[in-house]
Structures are given as structure tokens and as C-alpha cells.
Amino acid sequence: MPEGLIVKALSGYYYVKPATAQAGAPDDYVQCRGRGIFKKRGESPLVGDRVIYSPTENGEGTVDEILPRETELIRPPIANAKLAVLLFSLREPDLNLQLLDKFLVHIEHAGLRTLICLTKEDLVEEDEPEETPEIISQVKALYESIGYDVIVTSSVTGMGTEEVKSRLAGEISVFSGQSGVGKSSLLNAMLGLSLETSEISLRLGRGRHTTRHVELIELENGGYVADTPGFSQLDFLELGVEELSSCFREFTDYAEGCKFRGCSHLHEPGCKVREAADKGEIAASRYEHYVQFHEEMKEKKRRY
């Protein structure tokens, strides 16, 4: 039976691109239903799943088997993504490092590689040209020192779009971030698409969600991009509080020297992470966000 890739899931149908289909033929897919056995097992095919399907007489098909997944995200629901492209705007809405760190925690927990894209560079240039280099260089230096790749982009001037595109070759990538930061605009600029975009509500400081479902957009370099619904907030329900510190990658080396195993890095004596934060070896904003997330997780645990 033929194999394929689920590129879209909508209204109970799975749109499967056959493995034999020619690259760059976006409409070359088979509309499939899932077998009833999936429901009985409590399984559900996801966008990004590589599947075995059987064609039916009416030109459609049935998804018979889900091949083993390399990764699985709960929100957005997508399988086999390797790279998370986190888009955060420098202006409209203003850069929110706490939310960026929250996304990074979730991506670290999911085991994906991360590319941070700072969007709307042209608006910073416009508002405060004399401050632009300092704002951007500080944020870039902070996250690059932790080990993340950071690219500054503008869908208006084209800055950084080719560099981002080259990072997406040959794999499934997830585009995510705060709503209104320019995900669709950047994809349009990179790929020559016309995805729906919306004006920012300056009163609310965020954009209306313009992406309604998860769908893989095929690139000519062999990659697929998932343009995923924007999130205004994330919760920590799928993450254990004891796993949080491991999602702050710069804590790892220091944590090995802590006096107590399972140190929370909050108040224990002999905590090397807190010591590093006090010395400025760990960025104050990162440690502060760790403490805030820890409290948020404990509060959620008490409620549930």
C-alpha cells in the first residue's frame, strides 16, 4: 500500500501527499478518512504524520497506519517537526521576553531545535533609529550566548528572509509565536504566498488570529512549514515542575554543582544556579522568568 504525508487535517478529512508525488505540486494529494480503529485505540492522525493509506474507488482514500513519529507536539497538534521558528516582533506588539522564554521552555521540553526570529525590524528603525542597534544587539547577544540562533527580519525590506528560508530545507518546521508578530507576512515575503494577514489592534497590543488550522506549506527546497494558530498564552499542564530547570539550557552546567540533588534553584543553600544568577553569569531576566514560571506551575498544580 502507498505511503504519504498528511499535509492538512480539516473537518474529519486528512489530505495526504503521496510519497511518490513530485515536489512542488501542492495540489497533488489524496483526501482520506481515518480508519475506525484509530478511535478505538484513542489515537488520532496528525498533520506531519507519515502514513500508509489505501485508495478507494471514488478517488479518495483511507489512512490505515501511522508510521512511528520522531516528535509530537500537543499544541499545535503536529508530528515529526524538527525545528521551531519562534517569531517575536520588536514593535507592534513590543518584544515580550517573558513570553519568548515561555515558548522556549515548551520547545525545549518537546525536544525541537529552535530558531528565534525577531520581526518588524523596519518599525524599530522608523520609531527610534538611534536606539535600534542597541536594542537588537542586546537581545541577540543574550539568546546567542545561551546557544540559540537569532535572525533579525523584516517582511517589508526583506531583511533576513533568505537566511530563514535556507534553515527550513529538507524538514518540517513549526512557525509559532505571539499573535500579530508577522508570521503570515514573513511567510508571504519568503515564499511569495498570499496568506491572510490582519491589522494589529493597537488598543489591545496584539493581532487577531489569522491562521485557522494547522497546514503544511511545501517549499521548493524540500522543507515543509507549519503555519500554526497564534497563541496569546501557554500553560504548563503537560510539564512537570521538576522538569522546568532542564528547559533553561544555561542552568545545566551550574545545576550539576548544586549541593542538593533535585535542587529547585530557589532557596536551597549551596545552589550554584542562584549563585551564577547573582554574579550575572545567568541573565537576570532569564532567572526571574524561571522563578515566575515555577510559581505559576505550583499554583496550577494546587488547582488541579
Q: What residue ranges do the domains of the chain occupy? A: 3-67, 78-227, 241-303
Annotated binding site: 119-122, 177-185, 258, 263, 265, 271
Cell readout for 35 is: 480508519
Q: Measured between alpha carbons, how far is 55 from 32 in angstroms, rounded to an integer? A: 8
221-249 pLDDT tens trace: 889 988 665 444 466 767 888 999 999 99
Q: Measured between alpha carbons, how far is 3 from 17 in angstroms, rounded to an integer? A: 9
**Quick one: CATH architecture of 3-67?**
Beta Barrel (2.40)
Task: Quickly state the pLDDT bin for 172 (edges 50, 70, 90).
Answer: very high
CATH number of 241-303: 1.10.40.50
Annotated binding site for Zn(2+): 258, 263, 265, 271
* pLDDT value for 199: 37
Class assignment of domain 78-227?
Answer: alpha beta
* pLDDT value for 198: 45
Annotated binding site for GTP: 119-122, 177-185
Average pLDDT, the chain: 84
**pLDDT higher for 127 or 167?**
167
Q: Which of 185, 118, 180 is nearest to 151 (CA)?
A: 118
What are the phi and psi torsion angles at 212 (to 5°)? -100, -25
